[in-house]
Structure 1
Amino acid sequence: MAESAARLSHGWQPDRIQEEAHRRDRWAAGRFGLSLILALAWVVFSIWLSLPWLSDLGGLTHPLAALFVLAFVAYVPGFMNAFLMASLVLRPDALRRTPEQWPALSILIAAYNEEALIGETLRSIAALDYPGALQIMVLDDGSTDGTAAAVRDAEALFAGSSGRDLLLVSEKQNRGKARVLNDGLALAAHDLVVTIDADTLLEKGCLVALVEHLHASSPETAAIAGAVLVGNQNDSWITRAQQWDYFHGIAAVKRMQGMYNGTLVAQGAFSIYRKAALVEAGGWPDTVGEDIVLTWSLLRMGYKTGHAEDAVAWTHAPDTLRGLSNQRKRWARGMIEALAIHKSLLVAPRLRTMFIWWNLLFVSIDLTFTFAFIPGLILAFLGIFWLAGPITLLVLPLAALWNVVIYRIQTRMLKRNNIDMEKSLRGFLLYALIYPLLMQPVSVWGYLAELTGGRKQWN
């Protein structure tokens, strides 16, 4: 591991910065311990309060069934909310360091039938203020529309720019996202690789932020996930709800995981990687969740992964329920793939091991909510509080609190970076009240699709 870290650093981090990064990592262990104690205390309190309900429900069903239901609709979600809340409150200020010399970057953009959006994506790259050189590769995976023509039309954006090289790599037929990304990795000329989706728009200073976060991290850090927000929130009620999912839920979890050097997904939509680590991991695996499985490969190899909360990019979110369902089904399948391939992470002696178990527990949570809690809500409206009772309301204050905290954190981040984001109150109400009831059954669908060997596709 030491040799890998030395190879990744490439001498671009002075010793004092590496020492400071390691010192901050040691402090993270203290914050983790305190957050864990507070979360466990909340669970003990919840169990004590729920004993009468647990007894009644056990009498109606079976004691083990009652314990399972309460564990995954109240105790485990309560622990997660409490740990997340404590971590956000105890979070340190984000650390960025400006390198003495800005490294060159290779940007990989996998594209399949992206004629409508690839031009805007390339225009956002052309407008970046990154001081170093950029090698931009559009990896056209056998598109049947005008994706290649749109890329050629955008060549003029980079023609007069020094250190900005645009390359179109076209496949004759569709081969899959992982394969074209690995082709791009083989062609990458630089030690740092950035991936973005073909429908992602980059904020002007986002690459500077990514590199500065990486430069401030310990040399064992192999990847940094950027902050992805929804750019088409006004397209439908589905995108309005997703705006808050990205702005609150996903952002909060990534901030928390990044505090402990264990961001579980360096998402393909916008992340930076050290090329040496990618090569050592064998590149992107040919799976549904190639970015999830790759990130877990890096973690299993002993590397660290972080999060740059102020490196902002805007994604084009699905604007229909069917499109969103297909996306979240892929995410759920990707998590099952990662768990199946990287079982050893469940026993790794590291802080981030808890987050692997956290993801594993989500399978039971989603199953319980789908087949017990949602039917329990229907019964509760009829006056029958067997499954959805007062103890489940204990989860709500914690959920409300961490949402308030992450809203303040995210709003301040946008203000510091002079980023405007129109916020939809109607979208927030959908996100808070309806969205989880839709997404948990969809996740169960994804788990079942992976376990039964359903068809895999990335587009």
Structure 2
Amino acid sequence: MEIYHPINKPTFEPEKKKGIYIPITTKFWISHFLSLIWMFISIYLSFPWLEDLSSVIPLPAAILIITGISYIPGYMNAFLVFSLLLDKQPLFKNEHPTDPISILIAAYNEEDSIYNTIRYIDKQDYDGKIHVFVINNNSTDQTVKEIVRAKNDFNVHITLLNESKPGKFHALNKGLEHVTTPFVITLDADTLLHPSSIRYIVARLNSSPSNVCAVAGSVLVRNSRQNIWTRLQEWDYFIGIASIKRLQGLYQGTLVAQGAFSIYKTECIREVSGWPDAIGEDIVLTWRLLRNKWKVYFEPLAVAFTDVPTSLRHFAKQRSRWARGMIEGLKEIKPWKQPFVYTKYLTGINFIMPYLDVVYTFCWIPGLILALFGYFWIVGPYTLFVLPLTLISYSLLYYYQRNYVFKKLNLKIRKNKKGFIIFILFYQMIMSPISVLGYFQEFFGLKRIWK
């Protein structure tokens, strides 16, 4: 994706209301009903597969494996597709809000990126006052020097704070102590904002019901042209993560208002005692907010571009940290303790993710190797039944991102066919073992590594 150049700012024309209004509850149950039909058809068609597998392992084990690699993933993909088909983002009440806001940026050895991050804040078309708090968290490079340079070069109100305790949550809580505005945005030090991002994310929060406490922005990949790893992740952010965010936002329970770019009501953050001592501080924070009977939305037009890991080693560290953060959230707040049926369901999906990742890692991948030698007990023609729904969901997201997000923001989609093919064929084979590693780290209480 090309980063927007701020010379010719795009205009946003609100869409006219079309069609029949369908309540969220109705969408939820329609999507469930159709997804269950899909799953029952899958179960019926899989009887020969189940019979073949149960000839080499006990029937209960065969059911457990096939459920983990076919039935549940197929149901989840179907639910995603049907939900997206019914989704329609509400219109903004006011596209040009003027609320004063604060931005928190935790910085640890960010000399290569922090100046540019602040430069893009300076280019925002937001009409309200912006106060940026950059919290230096024990940097040993020239981060502070770059912050001072940005303070002198740009017309942005910047306050430099220092936090000696290591950990992003300490840095963010330090910044929170100084926030006096009703809204606070968190932004990663290597993340660049589209010129209209702050305007759109504030507009979405202002246009939402009073019990919405946060809105997650849409984070995409900036350094996708660097190598094959970044090309792969470009598609994950563009259609994978974005599709999950849209699904969760539709049901008013976005499970991660990610620290990379999200907005919160300051009083709500303070009511849950700020960011928690967790490796997935943004995950646990969001679940605490949801537990307090607040809702979290997602705004696809509030786009930010971030640098993603450029090597398998750093990618594994990041994604295992995400998986570990999910377990931290589940340990603190069980799905059945969430107050709303939507968030019970959405966090319940996360509750079964370790099972799906373990089955995929230790059954599907070995089954694929066996299939290469002609043994189709685990991986065979029936496993392809999930593929059509996956392609349909990705096609829907691509169409939506291209026509309703990128076109309105005057952005272009980069050509990345090789990355897409690798994403479709191999991404899950990379992700599931890494996620299992994160579960293992949390289970045994291994040392936390943020970067």
State whether structure 2 residue 31 is matched by structure 1 residue 35: yes
Q: In structure 2, give the amino acid aligned to 1:77.
A: P
3-state SS, counterpart of residue 386 of structure 1: coil
3-state SS, counterpart of residue 309 of structure 1: strand
* Contact 2:335–2:343 (Cα < 8 Å) also in 1: no
Pairing partner for 1:441 from 419, 433, 450: 433
Deviation at 1:440, TM superposition (A): 0.8
Pairing partner for 1:169 from 157, 161, 168: 161
* Contact 1:300–1:344 (Cα < 8 Å) also in 2: no
Deviation at 1:157, TM superposition (A): 3.1
* Contact 2:99–2:129 (Cα < 8 Å) also in 1: yes
CA displacement 1:190-236 (0-9 Å, x = unmatched): 01000000000000000110011111111100110000000000111
Q: In structure 1, give the amino acid aligned to 2:284.
A: V
Deviation at 1:53, TM superposition (A): 1.7
Go from structure 1 to structure 2 and tell me whether the alpha carbon gap of 1:56 and 1:344 turns closer, same or farther (over 3 Å shift). closer
Q: Which moved more, 1:303-312 or 1:56-65?
A: 56-65
Pairing partner for 1:52 from 30, 48, 56: 48
- Aligned residue pairs, count: 432
CA displacement 1:309-368 (0-9 Å, x = unmatched): 110000110111101110000000000000000015456442221111111111111100
Pairing partner for 1:267 from 247, 254, 258: 258
CA displacement 1:126-170 (0-9 Å, x = unmatched): 111110000101111010001000000101233xx4xx4101112
State whether structure 2 residue 446 is matched by structure 1 residue 454: yes
What pairs with 1:149-164 in structure 2 (closer than 5 Å)? 149-158=145-154, 161=155, 164=156
Normalising by the residue count of structure 1, what TM-score does the alignment of the two structures yield? Answer: 0.92
Pairing partner for 1:306 from 297, 301, 306: 297
3-state SS, counterpart of residue 92 of structure 1: coil
Deviation at 1:93, TM superposition (A): 3.3
CA displacement 1:248-290 (0-9 Å, x = unmatched): 1000000010001000000000000000100011100010000
Please name the residue that 1:354 is paired with. Answer: 345
Pairing partner for 2:109 from 104, 110, 113: 113
Q: In structure 2, give the amino acid aligned to 1:46.
A: S
Q: In structure 2, give the amino acid aligned to 1:82.
A: A
Identity, % of aligned positions = 42
* Contact 1:108–1:184 (Cα < 8 Å) also in 2: yes
State whether structure 2 residue 394 is matched by structure 1 residue 403: yes
- More helix by proportion, 1 or 2? 1
Gaps of 5+ in 1: 1-23
Deviation at 1:59, TM superposition (A): 2.5
Q: In structure 2, give the amino acid aligned to 1:137.
A: F
Deviation at 1:174, TM superposition (A): 4.5
* Contact 1:136–1:165 (Cα < 8 Å) also in 2: yes
Deviation at 1:98, TM superposition (A): 1.0
What pairs with 1:319-330 in structure 2 (closer than 5 Å)? 319-330=310-321
Q: Which moved more, 1:98-107 or 1:439-448?
A: 98-107
Please name the residue that 1:10 is paired with. Answer: none
Please name the residue that 1:367 is paired with. Answer: 358
Please name the residue that 1:135 is paired with. Answer: 131
3-state SS, counterpart of residue 318 of structure 1: coil
Normalising by the residue count of structure 2, what TM-score does the alignment of the two structures yield? Answer: 0.93
Superposed CA RMSD in Å reads 1.6
Deviation at 1:392, TM superposition (A): 1.1
Please name the residue that 1:425 is paired with. Answer: 417
